[in-house]
Amino acid sequence: MNSTALATIAATGFFVAFLHAAIPTHWLPFVLVARTRRWSRSKALMVSVFAGLGHVALTSLLGLAIAWFGFQLDEHFGHAFTMIAGGVLLVVGAFYFWRQWRGKGILHHHTPGGNHEPSSHCGHEKHGHSHLEAELEGSALVSDRKGDWAAISGLFIMLTLSPCEGFLPVYLSGVQFGWQGFFVLSGILAVGTLGGMLVFTWLTLVGLEKVELKRIERWEAGLLGIVFTVLGVVMLTLKHSH
């Protein structure tokens, strides 16, 4: 394994983080709350960064546990670890394909106090809205009857307690690079997630709402299946090439 392999894994990690940040759960709530509460664009963006930091922190903490576990496996299995990790990534890819096939392509965060009824989701999707918008109806996040701090806290909790599960297998693939790999991937996670949240929140705030990112939401599991399958094949190929 070399720096080229780490760069490949880092690029994959950035794609996963940015793709996950493009899902409406990472920017639509901030836009809707900002409009309801008449926040400035700068305040809405600062709140999104604040919530995103909690999201990144918990994901990195889980990644730390995975990295430590991976270090133990690497110590005991040595060169075979790369093959094990590659096989695990293929299994993860198959799992996401299964989710997509089962109609569970949306890896969705529920909003606190929102409407989670499936029938409500379907009705809104017929009119071109994400089912997240249906959940936000009636939520304390978009109600102006409570103070801003209640909304900010709700947004922070919503993202923090819903880590980026799709990034966790990326941490496993970086185990062979030791702590350097962990810190590089954690930085990539932060840049990809926060950058994506800021970009899509800002674009929507300035009125570019016609970007059909809801299609990405519906196919998120399938896209992750492709990514992890390719990454698993790459790891196995690199193993056999050394």
pLDDT (tens digit, 9 = 90+) per residue, 21-51?
988 888 888 988 888 888 999 999 999 999 9
Mean pLDDT computed over every residue of the chain: 79
pLDDT at 113 over 50: no
Cα–Cα distance between 82 and 7 in angstroms, integer? 16
Query: What is the reported pLDDT for 142?
Result: 59
pLDDT band, very low/low/confident/very high, at 212 (cuts 50, 70, 90): low
Residue in the block written with tokens 């936000």: 136
Contacts of 88 (CB under 8 A, 6+ apart): 169, 172, 232
Contacts of 125 (CB under 8 A, 6+ apart): 131
- As given in the structure block, the two tokens for residue 193 are 């997630």
Most confidently predicted of 56-60, 86-90, 155-159: 56-60
Q: What is the pLDDT of residues 129-182, one digit of tens each?
A: 455 566 665 566 655 566 788 889 989 998 998 888 889 889 988 888 889 999
Query: What is the reported pLDDT for 190?
Result: 97
Query: What is the reported pLDDT for 59?
Result: 96
Query: What is the reported pLDDT for 114?
Result: 47
pLDDT band, very low/low/confident/very high, at 199 (cuts 50, 70, 90): very high
Helix (H, G, I), strand (E, B) or coil at 143: coil
Count other Cβ atoms within 10 Å, centred on residue 90. 18
Which contiguous run of DSSP H or E holds residue 32? helix 28-37
Query: What is the reported pLDDT for 217?
Result: 63
Mean pLDDT of 70-83: 78
- As given in the structure block, the two tokens for residue 148 are 């801003």
Query: What is the reported pLDDT for 104?
Result: 63
Torsion region of 113: left, alpha or beta (phi above 0 gives left; psi -120 to 50 gives alpha)? left
Query: What is the reported pLDDT for 18?
Result: 93
pLDDT at 124 over 70: no
Mean pLDDT of 96-119: 61
Whole-prediction pTM: 0.78
Cα–Cα distance between 22 and 12 in angstroms, integer? 15
- As given in the structure block, the two tokens for residue 74 are 């690497």
